[in-house]
Amino acid sequence: MGDITFLILKRLGFGLMTLLIVSIIIFFAVELLPGDIAETVLGQAATAETVEAFRNKIGLNRPAFVRYFEWLSGAVTGDFGVSLVTDNPVGTAIAERLSNTLFLATYAAVIAVPVAIFLGILVALLRNTIFDRLTNIATLASISSPEFFVAYILIIYLSVKTGLFPPIANLSGNMSFPELLNRTFLPALTLVLVTTAHMMRMTRAAIINLLAEPYIEMARMKGVSRWKVIVRHTLPNAWAPIITVVALNMAYLITGVVLVEVVFVYPGIGQLLVDAVSKRDFPIVQACCLIFAATFILLNLAADVGAILSNPRLRNPK
């Protein structure tokens, strides 16, 4: 366990270092934007005295590195400052939207992960057949299609023409759980169609690569059925790449939902980010970007740890 603990701590250290570098990029990228933030927020009708007072209020009269360390220390404790538009705490504005995004990502993951793994195993069993070729064509089409294009196709056929699901994900606090699932089905299905293709193809490739191993040939020579060979012998050794691609797609479900949330007007953190950019509400933009980066780094760390724990050769590097 000592080697595993050291590897996990090393990955965690690299993740924290990466997050620190990303936080510097996020903060100073906003600083380098053209124009004056105070004038942009207040508008052209603001007087010079009002602009100067607003600059002093949000701390623009202080050096950038001082404001960065203040922002970073606050972000570590969950305090991202206040919104420039509403003057409300950024954490309060993000908390509800983040929970909605996590619900949508979980909804899509519950459908996508088992379906992708099952299809990957099935296609590996039936490789080089018509079913395999048709599935590859469908997955390539799904991967190549932008999320907003898939979303609009689903709206046309499952909402406009058939009326099965609402085209806009209007949420309210008093709706029942079945109604919540119904209203969020189209954005969840959009994410499922995009992520399932990646995970299914990786599962298929990992299993097919292992089918040529000598121990698989020996199992076949002993008369073990193809299904048992894959489930009992191949799949356990293919978990490392499968876990990696699943974790990366989970990161995408959280950090890559911006376009999907905008299309369906879903009240998630992606929609909040777009609104904040249009209103030049930079504290919310910085907080959303930092949360996205932290989520992606954390799930990459989970993928590394999962791959290590599932592979004896990685657990014992010596």
pLDDT digits (tens, 9 = 90+) for 202-240: 888 888 887 777 777 787 777 777 777 777 777 777 777
Helix ranges (H only) for 126-238 are 130-144, 147-155, 177-183, 185-210, 214-221, 226-228, 235-237
25 and 106 housed in the same domain: no
Q: In b/e form, how buried is each residue of 104-139, taking b as 16+ CB within 10 angstroms?
A: bbebbbebbbeebbebbbbbbbebeeeebeebbeeb
Model pLDDT for residues 109-119, shown as the tens digit of each residue: 999 989 988 88
**Domain of residue 292, CATH code:** 1.10.3720.10
Counting beta carbons within 10 angstroms of the beta carbon of residue 10, is it exposed (0 to 12), middle (13 to 18) or buried (19 or more)? exposed
The reply to whether 86 falls in a domain is no
Cα 300 to the chain's mean position, in Å?
11
Q: What is the mean pLDDT of residues 254-275?
A: 86
Query: In sequence order, what are the residues at sequence separation of 6 or more whose Cβ sits closer than 8 angstroms to the Cβ of residue 45?
Result: none
What six digits make up the tokens of 81? 């400052």
Residue 23 within any structural domain of the chain? yes
Could you tell me the pTM of the whole model? 0.82
The SS3 of residue 162 is: coil
Q: Is 30 in the same domain as 63?
A: yes
Do 9 and 130 fall within a single domain? no
Q: Is 81 helix (H, G, I), strand (E, B) or coil?
A: coil
Would 200 be classed as within a structural domain?
A: yes
Cα(236)–Cα(228) distance, rounded to whole angstroms?
12
Q: Do 63 and 181 belong to one domain?
A: no
Q: How far apart are CA 241 and CA 72, in angstroms?
A: 34
Nearest to 42 by CA among 58, 61, 26: 58
Is 49 found in the same domain as 110? no
- For 302, the domain range is 98-315
Number of domains in the chain: 2
pLDDT category at 281 given cuts 50, 70, 90 is confident
Same domain, 174 and 310: yes
What is the model's pLDDT at position 187? 92
- Are 114 and 184 part of one and the same domain? yes
Assess whether 160 and 28 both reside in one domain. no
Note whether 146 and 244 are same-domain residues. yes
